[in-house]
Structure 1
């Protein structure tokens, strides 16, 4: 079914409004800059401490991508819940009464920004990490099997986890509660599952990015790179759809 021209125009206007709001916050740029800088710094540290070439060097130099998930996820949550805590949601809904359209615009803008930043983060971390490897260790190259895929999927993983945070914000609409759930699912949940149900750990977002997406070759007991990406997409889609349905049924 083709969307009506009026709907496309309203979506474009809503997206433009969301982009202005997102870029006007200093916290957005500080968070994105910290994600890139943190990933690059960790990649350099891990690369410099690598002792030999026996492991997956691509996974080593992309190690800094995983901690960046915390920052991007927090930004995703606050992009949604921050409007409720500040009261700006009333002005937003006055400008864009269609709540499904508004959430779609938020997701499109936030997803586009975090995908661009995620890919930049992954490529910078890979470049810096391989340069920091000791001279006796041959660095991985993008032309080697699975390496380019690992870098690209790592960047996509950052964006999907950010959208997962945005969806949680739409479902819960309370910053502290949404952040607690996000941290529990992405980080704390992995530690608990490792102790209680090790076979389920591979489905935790942090493990998916670190053990499935950021690898040049899949290891036994982990999800394949494309399966891991599909699971992250499912997490983001489910929370956004649930958030959209709740969003349309609630009063601001």
Structure 2
């Protein structure tokens, strides 16, 4: 009986085998999606960007006056220009969202837990990019369409009025959503590269808004050769993507998209290199 008791006690002492949990890309994406849902700042930033896209576009259509020499009507050549006028402001909101997605974890220290759970590191960056690109392209594209459709009744019967079936309109509206989604990815890459929210936002503002200003102080012969290859909207690759009619010296929509993607890829490559080579 003593032998039986000893054998029973020994078998009960053996711990149950724990299930083998593997780190897969799908699980990393789900964890990043959970972070996205839990952060109030992401929802606020998305809401601000959506309101800018829709509100300013509709207000611009409402206030359109073909006789005005100043204000929102001065450079409005078509309904798409009015509908997407707020893209320049929305890009900052969505670019900041990308910066917060990556640099924010370094600021709070959460990145240590993230990289401890995903030692290979690169899936973390890829998952963040996938989640934020997917969310932003849906929100931004919806905002562009709502801005155009909401302003359409106010422009009905005017020379610049267009419909969704007009040539090039769908390309511009979908292009605006794609442009803003790529800007969010660019922000995420810059945030991971510099690991600072302030630094990432500063770099983003320089690339999108200040570089065209710097070109004005350089020799005038340089601007036509450099400006089309900048990532922003003012005479740059972004402007080529969303413009219904291409101005002289600008890139085609396809070439503009290729240039913007090149900027994003370079930023992501730098972020990936630092993520692999530097400690958190």
TM-score normalised by structure 1 residue count: 0.90
The superposition leaves residues 140-190 of structure 1 with CA deviations (integer Å, 9 ceiling, x where unpaired) of: 111111111011111100001111111111111111111111111111112
Structure showing greater Rg: 2
How far the C-alpha of 1:232 sits from its partner, in A, is 1.2
TM-score (norm 2): 0.82
Aligned residues: 245
Say if 1:65 and 1:125, in contact at 8 Å, map to a contact too.
no
Structure 1 counterpart of 2:170: 148
Equivalent of residue 251 in structure 2, options 223, 230, 241: 223
- How big is the shift at 1:139? 2.3
- Please tell me whether residue 188 in structure 1 is matched to residue 210 in structure 2: yes
The correspondence for 1:37, drawn from 40, 51, 54, is 51
Q: Distance in 2 between matches of 1:46 and 1:210?
A: 21
Out of 161, 164, 184, the residue aligned to residue 183 of structure 2 is 161
Going from structure 1 to structure 2, the CA distance change for 1:131 and 1:26 (only over 3 Å counts) comes to: farther
Q: For structure 2, which runs of at least 5 residues remain unmatched after alignment?
A: 1-21, 67-72
Partner of 1:249: 277
Distance 1:88 1:60 in 2: 42
Distance 1:235 1:29, change over 3 A: same
Aligned 1:43-122 pairs, distance under 5 A: 43-52=57-66, 55-122=77-144
Measure, in 1, the Cα distance between the counterparts of 2:237 and 2:43: 23
Q: Is the 8 A contact 1:65 1:121 kept in 2?
A: no
Question: Cα offset for 1:109?
Answer: 0.9
Measure, in 2, the Cα distance between the counterparts of 1:130 and 1:191: 33
- Residue 195 of structure 1, CA deviation: 4.2
The 1:209/1:72 distance shift into structure 2, 3 A limit, reads: farther
Q: Deviations over 1:178-227 (max 9, x none)?
A: 11111111111122224434322233323346631222222212111111
Runs of 4+ in 1 over 6 A off after TM superposition: none
Offset from partner CA, 1:28-62 (integer Å, 9 cap, x none): 11110110111112112222233349823212221
**Whose helix fraction is larger, Structure 1's or Structure 2's?**
1
CA RMSD of aligned residues (A): 2.0
Larger RCO: 1 or 2 (CA < 8 Å, sep 6+)? 1
1:124-145 deviations in Å (ceiling 9; x for gaps): 1211232332654462111111
SS of 2:248's partner is: coil
